[in-house]
Amino acid sequence: MKILIIGGGIGGMTAAISLHQAGFEVEVFESVPTLKPLGVGINLLPHSVRVLTNLGLQDRLSETAVATRELVYFNKFGQRFWDEPRGMFAGYRWPQFSIHRGELQMLLFRAAQENIGQNRIHTGHHLHSFVEQDNQVYAKFVDKDSGEILTEVKGDLLIGADGIHSVVRQHFYPNEGPPKFSGNVLYRGVTKMKSFLTGSSMAMIGYADKKMVVYPIHQTLDEDGKQLINWVGDIKAEDVQFSIRDWNRQADKQKLLPQFESWRFDWLDVYKLIEGAANIYEFPMSDRDPLERWSFGRITLLGDAAHPMYPIGSNGASQAILDVDALTESLQSHPDPVAALQQYESIRLPATAKVVLQNRQQGPDHIMQVMEERAPNGFSNPYEVMSFAEMDAMMSQYRRIAGFDRDTLNQKA
Ligand SMILES: Cc1cc2nc3c(=O)[nH]c(=O)nc-3n(C[C@H](O)[C@H](O)[C@H](O)COP(=O)(O)OP(=O)(O)OC[C@H]3O[C@@H](n4cnc5c(N)ncnc54)[C@H](O)[C@@H]3O)c2cc1C
């Protein structure tokens, strides 16, 4: 069976490796002419690291990524009120990795090249349209810049892993319109700085409309003893019409710096962190409503094409990788590929819809908003504001919804 994968992002490349290892013939079609290590940091939760480990990738990931030790929540005054160990430090059989998105994509790209062969990865091929006919899918590709038609390819299945602006999704939902803007803008950057906390901690600071997420994405320090630190400022937008959803759109640092003037804590200087970034990027936090279905005959969706979600709770890339796992298993266990795509959808659509909806309520970061509302001027003892049991219940509920409850996950191979 020949499977056409549209999109060479995190989901598409992982799908290529996984489906190839399961014995299928795959070809990847990626819109951009040259893959470059774009983006800033992202996190891979233990459930997705399990999938990548089973594909033989954990050693490569360990060479560059940071095995996240702890997740720590602070209020806007830099006061700590919740911390929990993460990954293997929390007893999972797999680590949580913090990694540069571009490095992850290139790592997956190289692994895909080794698995399926360079000649089966077609960059500069933007999916234009497709049609299913006589148990085959015919896909037409163009050069995105010139619009010139490049080729038409035939396959048995087509997987739309073409991200938040998916052409495959648009084909089935032509009237859906653009992704929904949350009202908050994400400002993203990386900065070389002295390590903070344990050197492998993920810090969440602030509350719903003014939040800073900070974590290192390289384990090694440079010659000046500095570590590469990823940060994301999540801010309520002044311009509610903000609509350009381009992951590579650069922003002016001056827009952000005044907001964090006073965030200079003894354990981390947030202002300096922003100031030290070479470039910063802005992206309107967006998602889409969960779909009723995403498998249509011999065509299905995967990753952001299927379920774009707010990047809250470290789930964007992780859920795409979980899709790959379920898709591969379904195709392996069903002789009929159409039934397999239906089964894949029945497993992953409800699971990801819950995460999309939960992330609209801030996911695990809801704890920050509750703390802000109850103690806007800070606290002397956080447990007088929120009991340990209340905080623990909020955090463990999200772990269950996002599918990384430790004891359930540890039972899997
Ligand atoms: C350049 C870039 C930078 C990003 N930076 C961040 C970041 O800093 N932080 C973060 O949380 N998330 C970022 N993301 C999103 C993140 O990668 C995804 O949310 C998540 O990893 C799910 O992956 P995905 O494979 O579904 O989508 P993506 O990783 O977005 O991959 C989709 C791929 O499909 C390709 N594509 C799109 N349309 C077509 C078409 N018609 N034909 C062929 N190929 C097509 C795209 O070029 C892209 O390579 C970024 C995405 C991109 C593309």
Q: What is the pTM of this model?
A: 0.94
Report the residue among 18, 29, 30, 202 best suited for mutation to probe ligand 1: largest number of ligand atoms under 8 A from its CB: 30
With CA atoms as reference, report the closest residue to 161 among 340, 308, 334. Answer: 308
Q: Which helix (H) or strand (E) holds 207?
A: strand 201-207
The residue behind tokens 């929904």 is 180
Query: Looking at ligand 1, which atom is closest to the CA of residue 125?
Result: 43
Q: Which pLDDT score, from 0 to 100, does residue 239 have?
A: 67
**C-alpha R_g of the chain:** 21
Cβ(288) – ligand 1 distance below 6 Å: no
Contact 160, 308 (CB under 8 A): no
Report the residue among 5, 6, 29, 42 best suited for mutation to probe ligand 1: largest number of ligand atoms under 8 A from its CB: 42
Ranges of residues in the chain with a pLDDT under 70 are 239-243
Rounded distance, CA 327 to CA 309, Å?
A: 19
Pairing of the two strands 121-122 and 97-100: unpaired
**Centroid of ligand 1 to alpha carbon of 215 (angstroms):** 21
Cβ(42) – ligand 1 distance below 6 Å: yes
Q: Which pLDDT score, from 0 to 100, does residue 243 have?
A: 64
388-411 as b/e: b if 16+ CB within 10 A: eeebeebeeebbebbbbeeeebee
Cβ(78) – ligand 1 distance below 6 Å: no
Q: Which pLDDT score, from 0 to 100, does residue 364 have?
A: 84
Cβ(304) – ligand 1 distance below 6 Å: yes
**Centroid of ligand 1 to alpha carbon of 233 (angstroms):** 20
Query: Looking at ligand 1, which atom is closest to the CA of residue 162?
Result: 34
Residues 173-193: tens digit of each pLDDT: 999 998 988 888 999 999 999
Pairing of the two strands 299-301 and 157-160: parallel
**Centroid of ligand 1 to alpha carbon of 160 (angstroms):** 12
